[in-house]
Structure formats: structure tokens, C-alpha cells
Amino acid sequence: MSLLDFLGRRPAHIRFPSIAAMERAGRRRLPKFAWDFMAGGIGREVGKARNLSDLDTVTFTPRYVVDYDYPADLSSTLFGKWSAPFGPGPVGLQDLVWPGAQAHVLRAAADHNLPAGFSVYATASIEEAAGIVGPNLWFQQYPMAETDIEQDLLGRYRSVGGDVLIVTMDVPHGTRRERDIGNGLSIPPRQDLLTYWQAAIRPSWSVATLRNGMPRFKTVERYIPPDTPPQSSMQLLGSLAAGHVGPERLRQYRDQWNGKLVIKGVLHQEDLKHCLDAGVDGIVVSNHGGRQLDGAVTAPEVLPSLRQYAGGKLSIIADGGVRSGLDIARMLALGADHVFLGRALAFAVAAAGAEGPALAMDILKQEMVDVLSQLGCQDYRDLTKYLTD
């Protein structure tokens, strides 16, 4: 960071002109255990890298001799009326990345009128989140082994006016993420010399954490027995997951939820067929950010075939490796109706604090308009026509 940056004389939009700039700055501000939790994948992290590289292979052929009205319209009508076809995806434990991150992302989504995916393992409660974004809240939960807990969560979401429920299928059980194992990651963080040292050399994060308090799983903490040792809370939460979901339970979700039902983690046509048979409203094409199976296919690989198979009978959301407005355009061109952002907004809040997520959303919108303008494409729904053969 330059002296001028340190003194705060340059506004954030100049210091952070892109998500890539936010990523570089964010890494310098976070303790290693926090950065690794957010940025890491699994195994050799080939899958995480392919999420980015597969998007980079998607190219467009512009049309310059056209009548074009600038700027293009980005508005979306997926399960509501939004200012753009993207928004925050559900991310657990965001406040470990930066204190208050969860609320910062939600406020930015409200200010930009974007739908906000909200994880059951969030560091805010459902009720707090609804108080910030209201009907923009899309709640994501994992299938729970204890149906009483699952039904209580659904009831709480209904009570705040919730409509869009996302059920995540792509984490049937816990995995060994080497970075987190090597760091001894736990909540609260381990009280050892390595953790103290990593926090001490990142004073901005440490001071903000002291002010904000240690991150808590506020939505689900009421389901943790009060006598549970703090270091055991993450393991206990993991044990609540139900594992794989069969076609019958998928149909039960449809019967139980009278709002919009979205199934996350669909990568194969057979899973898509089960979703169509059950009558769900949408799917999320996702390999969970390369954090579950290092050899899984990526969204760009399967989006076109899934789109064709779906035949317009349900909506398609995609995520994985999105770092720019161009990447959003690529996902839309390949067959997505909407794009979730996870790490990109985490980089933003790590780099710029409370103002980071809103700035990132501004950047992404501007980049999308630039892409459409260069292509001569007035409506992002027509982007498929501009893909290079």
C-alpha cells in the first residue's frame, strides 16, 4: 500500500478499480487462517483454478455496425424485480473474513436492489438479515438430519416473509480442506502462538475483530447445546447435515415449501431430471467453488447442455470463478439466468471494509454495461448469439 493510500487521500474507487485489485489488497489485510478459509479450495485446488480458467476460454464476437442505445438495460425479473442479473451467493462464516462482512454484503445488496443469498451458517440470524434486505433475502439451507431443526428454520424464514428457498445438495458430508487443517481452523480461533502471530501482523483485522466480537453462527447457534465447548461447535454443526438427498426427499421439499424452491449443486442431467420431475423452480449450477471435489466439472462445461435439457421449464443460476462483469456475461451467455458471487464480494469487504461490497457491485454493473456496449448487444438475454462459434 502506498503512503497516499495509507493516509486515505485516494478514494476507494480509485484504489480498487477491479475485483482483482480488491483480491490483492484483501490478501494483505487478512490473517493467513482467514484468507485460506475464504480463498482456499480442496486437494491441489485444480478445480478452483479451472472455475476461473474455463470462464477465460469463453469468447464473444462483437457486432460494431449496429444501432445501439447506450447504456444497456441490466434489470432482471428472476423471482422478483432486480437491478441486475447477479447478486451475493450464500456464504457461511463471512465475519471470519472481515468483521461485520455479512451485514456489509447484505446492506450493499439492499442498496443495489439485488437478491441476497443467505447461508444457514451465516454470521447473522435470519431475522437480522431480513431486517436489512427484507424481501431480497434468499435463504439457503443444507438438508438437516433432524427434521425438527429443519422445520424450525423454514418456519423462521416464513415468519420474515421469505419466498425463495435454496436447498444445497453439493455438500453431502464434510471434506478435508488442507489449508484449514494446516491452520488448525476453529471458531473461535485457536489460542496458540501461530494464531496470535498471524493476527498480530494484521492489526486492522484484529482491531476490527475486537470491536465486532468473534464470529458466531447466529442462525443455528440456538440448536447447539449450551454446554458445548466453543472449539467443538463447528464439528457439531457439521453433524447436523443429512447427507445425500434422494428423489423422494426432494419431492418432500417441494410439498413443504409453497414459495420458490431452488436446488443448488446440479451438475448432471440426471439430477436435473429429478428436479424437473419434482417441480422445483430453479437450480444452481455449482461445484461449490472447488471446495468439495477437486475433479468436479465446472459450470461453464455443463451450462449449455443443462440449459438445453431444461427447455425453459425452470430457472438456472450459476456460480464459480466469477471475478468481473465479463465473467457474469459469460455465464449468462452459456445459459444462466442469474449469477451468484461468493469470493468476489469477500475480496471486496476484505479490501475496503463496509464500503467494499457496494463498490464491487458498482464495478460489476459498469463492466457488464461495457461488455454489452462493445458487443453491440442491448439485452443481456441475447448474449448467447454473440458467443464465438
From 104, 112, 274, 288, the catalytic residue: 288
- Which residues is 167 bridged to in the sheet? 141, 263
Assess whether 288 carries a catalytic annotation: yes
3-state SS assignment for residue 207: helix
Q: Answer whether 272's CB lies under 8 Å from 278's CB.
A: no
Rounded to whole angstroms, the Cα distance separating 182 from 195 reads: 12
Q: Answer whether 367's CB lies under 8 Å from 326's CB.
A: yes
Rounded to whole angstroms, the Cα distance separating 322 from 341 reads: 7
Q: Answer whether 129's CB lies under 8 Å from 106's CB.
A: yes
Q: Answer whether 126's CB lies under 8 Å from 223's CB.
A: no
* Full DSSP string of 329-388: HHHHHHT-SEEEESHHHHHHHHHHGGGHHHHHHHHHHHHHHHHHHHHT-SBGGGGGGGB-
Residue linked to cell 471434506: 175
The CA-to-CA distance between both ends of the chain, in Å, stands at 43
Catalytic residue numbers?
288
